[in-house]
Amino acid sequence: MAGMTQYIAVDLGAESGRVMLGSISGGKLSLEEVHRFGNGPVEEGDSLRWDFGKLLVEVKAGIGKAVRSAEGTIAGIGVDSWGVDFGLIDSAGELIENPYHYRDSRTNTMVAKASEFLPKREIYENTGLQFLQFNSVYQLLAQHLSKPEVLARTKSLIFAADLFSYYLCGRAFAEYTLASTSQLMDMRSGQWSETIFEKLSLPMSIMPEVVMPGTVVGELTAEIAGEIGCERIPVIAVASHDTGAAVAAVPAGEGNWAYLSSGTWSLVGVEAAKAIINDRTFEHSFTNEGGVENTIRLLKNIMGLWLVQECKRQWEKEGAGFSYAQLSQMAQDAEAFAAHIDPDYGEFLSPGNMPEKINNYLVGTGQERIDDKAQMIRVILESLALKYRWAVERIEEITGRAIDCLHIVGGGLQNEVLCQFTADAVGKRVVAGPVEATASGNILMQAMAVGQIESLAEARQIVRDSFELKEYRPQDVSRWEQQYGRFLKG
């Protein structure tokens, strides 16, 4: 790869982080994982936090490995992460405390509390975001109500991925796609909502400048470059929200298509030219988040494979270890449609004994407990597929356009059983790939920032030419149709 332009993608997920070295040549994208590390919440007293210092050490170690592996010019470094979480920086430029984890319980009552100051319909009118208790606005409100002394020391609030970029280059900013997950932004204007900050008595002065995806925000500080042993590489604000990056890498062409970004969370949506904020999107709790090239990601956030991950974690504690591949095969061989759940049931959000939570839900809805592990995983996967259908139908209703194809991207597409279930439930052609959508979108946005790629359409063509895609066609549609009716009844 001598003489080739290369890019470093730092991709931070809720279970793990990795650093990828990527390049684009001959109309194709290549990726190499150079560093991977574990991630997850840590307990500090009675709260769940992110161990930012540890993660930053891993990020710098990964960049160092990428630099040593590179054979050409490194044109940029981009960081993406999950949304909503943030760090608070003091006047000396230092992190005041470890960022809270979005599953921390302090926000449990904050949606209701916020509605005491501003009715939910007005909050939605001013932000266009789905009501999720962990949204940044409720985290910030909890901070304001319980720890005002911390906010009094705060100069800047910086969202997760951008917090790492801040420590790499020294510039505080809020990349648009990541900032748009906060419910602090007016999605019609793409700027902070003065109404939200004023009515909830939150300090708008701590919010940094919003920058668009594909902006060069600085370069590695001299100190960081010296520590890593490299040149002062440009730092680029990619689509810093991991789903924003993944959607940028959806290998779609013409036609009416939707996407499913599948992983710990499932996000089902479409690209829109502008925010769609009306009674229907409010009723169905759809969210308007920022996308690349001035698009809006109109989507529904669904609990996703978190349900499987938590079951797996609980069974490991009990001495029964399974790989995800084993769980998928077990589910395929289990009885079909033995029960169903609403994946977005509130009790499923927090960590801890997911099998018992699911059984409590089943009993509470008049269904039988499930003690068989294979059966429980099958119920989760079938229920997710049915919820995806619900989301696609609502999108068609809201936009007035029939969806022709559903693109699945992200790590969840490795669960081929779920992919087929999705095609069966939704009743549409499903195209799965690439797995590495987030890292791909990260690299592609860097290439657009430096001028190697001219447009999003070109980027998506590169994805189509670079990765093997798998197609799933609906099977046994009538049986899934019957189960969907049952699912809708609850």
Catalytically annotated residues: 242
- Residue 224 in tokens: 């960081």
Helix-, strand-, coil-residue percentages of the chain, each rounded to 5: 45, 25, 35
Contact call for residues 15 and 40 (beta carbons, < 8 A): yes
Helices (H), 400-436: 416-426
Contact call for residues 429 and 422 (beta carbons, < 8 A): no
- Residue 142 in tokens: 């909890």
- Residue 114 in tokens: 């916020």
Q: How far apart are the C-alpha atoms of 57 and 51, rounded to whole Å?
A: 10
Q: Which residues pair with 428 in a beta bridge?
A: none
Dihedrals phi, psi of 283, to nearest 5 degrees: -60, -40
How distant, in Å, are the alpha carbons of 21, 165, 236, 409 from that of 218? 19, 9, 7, 30
Counting DSSP H helices and E strands in the chain, the numbers are 19, 21
Which residue do the tokens 């049915």 mark?
386
How distant, in Å, are the alpha carbons of 154, 298, 362, 407, 450 from that of 250? 38, 15, 36, 7, 21
Q: How far apart are the C-alpha atoms of 167 and 258, rounded to whole Å?
A: 36
Q: How far apart are the C-alpha atoms of 219 and 257, rounded to whole Å?
A: 37
Contact call for residues 102 and 264 (beta carbons, < 8 A): no
- The residue type of 216 is V
Phi-psi region of 451 (alpha: psi -120 to 50; beta: other; left: phi over 0): left
- Residue 381 in tokens: 């996967």
Dihedrals phi, psi of 234, to nearest 5 degrees: -60, 140
Contact call for residues 81 and 242 (beta carbons, < 8 A): yes
Residues 6+ apart with CB under 8 A from 385: 418, 421, 422, 424, 425, 426
Which residue do the tokens 């005002």 mark?
148
Contact call for residues 303 and 348 (beta carbons, < 8 A): yes
Q: How far apart are the C-alpha atoms of 464 and 346, rounded to whole Å?
A: 38
Residue among 21, 16, 46 nearest 31 (CA): 21
